[in-house]
Amino acid sequence: MKITFFLTQDLNSPSGLGRYFPWAKELSKLNHEIKIYALHSNYSSLNNKREIIDGVEVHYIGQMHVKKFANSKVYFGSLTLLALMISATIKFIYYSLFDDYNVLIIGKPHPMNGIASIFSKIVRRKNIIVDCDDDETHSGNFKKTWQKLVICFFEKSIPKIADVVTTNTKYTEQRLIKDGISKEKIFYLTNGVDPDRFTNIDENRLFTLRRELGLENKKVVAYLGSMSLASHAINLLIDAFEEIVKENTDIMMLLVGGGEDFDYIQKIVNKKGIISRTVFTGRVNSGDIKYYYKLADITVDPVYNDIAAKARSPLKIFESWACGVPVLTSKVGDRNELFRDNFSCLRVSDNETPLEIKNAILIFFKTSSFDNHQCSDLSKRYFWDKLIKSLIDNNEKLFGKYI
């Protein structure tokens, strides 16, 4: 069976790395022929725009809507953005018409890949899976109102032409139903974890990294993710940590990642007088991220109780578990469902306020006699091979005729 992905992000972006590539890799392991056509966050810097990774053929065909380099993320002006969108749309349309595939998977229904999926359905009558792993309308960092309106239109419209719509949260499932998508067409495909990325820890390397970052003999609270305040409530953790340092001299805060607010967040931490107790790493190589999880005693997924958080299934939760590290978050969206079954590995605060986060962290360090194997064992439920097998088994009508 030949399956093609159209992605508007690269394989180093969160969903590309943590959701779409492992999805593609598992399909490849099942002897399907997989291609990915994707946009890249720094397209002009690429020397090789085509590569084979774990049996998956990857083609980068244009620039993403943002440019990422070093620890920064830069948004393009309206005219440049429009030109990039038009260029990417034309290329996606070309491959939708002339690439050889049986099923087209749209990773996030954006204008560029969304318009191409319409050509695929109408002109070639191909089967289409649309994956909605976020509420793009409410989580995007839009500079102009028209940008938000365009995204909203495609987010609501493209799933209607799909044969199967996948989503990773119950909130988005209900939103899709309200938008007119048949419940029978929706498949709940939770986020998961690729175990290949989080095994084979070199203990000497981990020891060296801990020493280089000044975390020896320290308790570590970590946040790993985008340094973007528009979509990630890192300020809640920072405000909580400001209070923690007044009561505990052994706890350090580790912030891993880059983004448009990286410099601003550093200034906030410095202004609060907690810079000496904070370690910023900037962006790190995706192959090394497991070591940064392993540095932590507990990781934090700080969120507000808003639509963006309800529609998001944080990959960092599953990745932290895979490394044997518990997670502190709030009872928002599917996090609450995970909490019900997995209390020992997911410490959930009732109200995501700095005070609640502070108290939960201090209680964790005072009372925890934690077995790291609990989380690593739990993560096995969410290995991508199991999730993709479930997707295929539950959509036999779509996949069966090609197998």
Tell me the DSSP string of 289-358: HHHHHHT-SEEE----SSHHHHT---HHHHHHHHTT--EEEES-THHHHHHHH-TTTEEEESS-SHHHHH
Cα 312–Cα 72–Cα 199 angle in degrees, nearest 5: 60
Strand order in 127-132's β-sheet? 50-53, 56-63, 33-40, 2-7, 103-107, 127-132, 164-167, 186-188
Inter-CA distances, 295 with 37, 283, 299, 314, Å: 35, 16, 10, 19
Say how far residue 155 (Cα) sits from the centre of its chain.
18
> Who's near 143: CB < 8 A, 6+ residues apart?
75, 78
CB 11 within 8 A of CB 40: no
CB 5 within 8 A of CB 108: no
The per-residue pLDDT for 336 is: 77
Domain extent listing, the chain:
2-192+383-402, 195-381
pLDDT (tens place) for every residue of the chain, 403 residues total: 999 999 999 999 999 999 999 999 999 999 999 999 999 999 999 999 999 999 999 999 999 999 998 888 888 998 999 999 999 999 999 999 999 999 999 999 999 999 999 999 999 999 999 999 988 888 777 878 888 899 999 999 999 999 999 999 999 999 999 999 999 999 999 999 999 999 899 999 999 999 999 999 999 999 999 999 988 999 999 999 999 999 988 999 999 999 999 999 999 999 999 999 999 999 999 999 999 999 999 999 999 888 888 899 999 999 999 999 999 988 888 887 776 666 666 777 666 789 989 998 998 898 766 667 778 888 899 999 999 999 999 887 777 665 5
Q: Hey, what CATH class is 2-192+383-402 in? A: alpha beta
CB 347 within 8 A of CB 325: no
CB 358 within 8 A of CB 244: yes
| CATH code that applies to domain 195-381 | 3.40.50.2000
Residue 361 three-state SS: helix
Q: CA 317 to CA 293: how far, in whole Å? A: 11
List the one residue out of 135, 99, 134, 133 whose CA is nearest residue 117.
99
Q: Residue 311 corresponds to which tokens in the numbers above?
A: 């529609």
The per-residue pLDDT for 127 is: 95
Q: CA 204 to CA 210: how far, in whole Å? A: 10
